[in-house]
Chain A
Amino acid sequence: MAKRIYYLPTSNPTAEITCEVAMKSQAYNTSTAKLKRSSSSVTIARSGENGEEVGSGSINQVAIGAAQDIQGAKLIFAHSLDLGYCTDEDWMLILRASTKDEYEDKREEYMGFVKEEKWEEVFEILRLSIFYSFDGGLDGFQRFEFDYDDVFDHSDDGLVIVIAKAVQLIYT
């Protein structure tokens, strides 16, 4: 897991820190954002519950808290990419297969990529993008992308992939 840090402003301990997730893929995406402190954790947002499109995985801008209150905490984003909804026609579209034979070959290839954990190839097919935007901190607006080593788990049949990213919130 690639380490990400968002620096909080030392000069303004009451500054409100916000975050936002913009996610896109051909799967049915779901995301949650959780603030984890040493002794407790609280879910601060779930995609689709604050006016976002269900299945998009995006989370609209949400307040994490005042800088002084979240110092040392970690923000954990968890995402699932679910292809359980796909009919054969949907699969053909996702895999860009024009014929049944091409579809069968490409689906087998896709499943092979998942099992071998070739995430670059998998996410190229799913056309995945995730951007995490933070604001209110020392450097103001800052944007991170997901990394291939953020992949946390995948189901045995390859239809569900879980990605997890942690962002450390600290003073310099």
Chain B
Amino acid sequence: MIFQNLKHYLSFIFFAPGLIFAQETKEIDLSGLKPPTSPGFTILDIAPNSIEHPKTIKEFTISTANLFNRGFEIPKNFAFELSPGWMLNNTFSQITGLKKKGDRLKQNIFSDIRFSSISIASVYNDTSNTTMLASNTNHIGYGFKVNLIKVFNRPRISAIENYINLIHKETTGVLDEVDPNELPAGVANEIRNGTKDAWKKVIALRSIRPLFQLQIAGASATAFPENKGGKFHRGGGWLTAGMSFPLLKCKDEHYSKKLLNNSKYFNLVLLGRFMTSSFDSIYLEHRQSLLDIGGRVELELNRLLIGIEYISRSGNNDFVSTHRFAGMIEYRMFNNVFVVGSFGRNFGEYNNIISGLGLNWGFGKQSIYKPLNFN
């Protein structure tokens, strides 16, 4: 105990000067290129206060009818997000993407497509006080986001299958004894108690980063000055591909147990973003396109995390291509204390040096350099 406290004090004394620099490392992050949750809103630079989420065909019909309750005039000020998959009757295999029919459990790698989302928003700006949106203009943005592919490796599927087999055996064993003319005598609790641990393992195995994941999103926005005739177009596209390799031997007979406790990964993330616009910041005609392509390689070894990332930014017309290249090393000294070092160069030609060494003193087990989360 005394030794632990001493370690805290010593680390504070040694690394306190680096605390300010440590904040800088938050900028070294590819997450800005990630597809936004609601591309249709992001493309308009808005964060709507209230978003309608129709979850049934009936709600969808009512919401759509309400939008056009003033005839065929372009609807103003609404934010609408829906996932058609929510309106359908889903089953265990559709929700989890895991299907066992016959001998082997299989994964439907495209199962998340069912839960793709569509976002549509409209903002009417009737003042000239803001530079973000053109005045007396209705802006309409629409976008989609799809989790296209999610792949678990075969050993993980096999591990899940073993637990599902256990659950099936346990459940049918109890159901075989059920007789509706007798008292229940806690059969549901018996099933629950007999399957609880196996389900926990299945949840944990499903929650670990997949071997491969691909997400795409797109959005477009058009402005309608005086609510007539589309003008000022803006569009965007996002792509994220991630691979995560647990540093374990796949043929290990205790693979599932080791995977659940594993903290050694090699991760590779590729991100791309394309933005195009037909106008500039003061709504003058100006065509510009911007392409960001980047990637990150990470090595997680228990307490140590090393990452290198690169982003190339290019554009048309007078845009000067630039890039960012940064490295990061993080070591978790205690649950909530991280030593963080960063180096590299940022976009642009001036003031672009990234360097820092510091101590991140947080609450909980929060690292500042988190592997990219796809959700």
Give residues in A with beta carbon < 8 Å to B: 1, 24-32, 34, 36, 43, 46, 48, 51-56, 76, 78-80, 82, 84-87, 89-90, 93-94, 96, 98, 127, 150, 152-157, 159-162, 164-166
Contacts and interface: CB of A to CB of B under 8 A. Distances in A.
A159 B168 CA distance: 16
Max chain B CB contacts within 10 Å: which of A25, A85, A164?
A85
B175 A79 contact: yes
A26 B90 contact: yes
A27 B95 CA distance: 10
A48 B181 CA distance: 26
A30 B91 contact: no
A90 B111 CA distance: 13
Given A27-B92, A53-B93, A153-B184, A160 B191 contact: yes
Given A85-B202, A93-B115, A164-B178, A54 B188 contact: no
A78 B192 contact: no
B99 interface: yes
Contacts of A98: 51, 53, 55, 81
Nearest to B88: A127
10 contacts: A46-B172, A54-B101, A55-B92, A55-B100, A82-B199, A153-B186, A156-B189, A161-B188, A164-B178, A164-B179
B91 A84 contact: no
Given A24-B91, A26-B91, A32-B178, 8 more contacts: A30-B172, A53-B99, A55-B93, A76-B178, A90-B96, A153-B188, A162-B175, A165-B180
Contact of A155 (B55, B56, B176, B191): B191
Which 3 residue pairs are nearest across A and B when measured between Cβ atoms?
A84-B199, A153-B184, A78-B178
Contacts of A96: 55-56, 86
Contact of A93 (B95, B100, B207): B95
Contact of A85 (B101, B192, B199): B199
Max chain A CB contacts within 10 Å: which of B96, B171, B179?
B171
B192 A157 contact: yes
B195 A82 contact: yes
B4 interface: no
B76 interface: no
A52 B187 CA distance: 24
B258 interface: no
Contacts of B188: 80, 152-155, 160-162
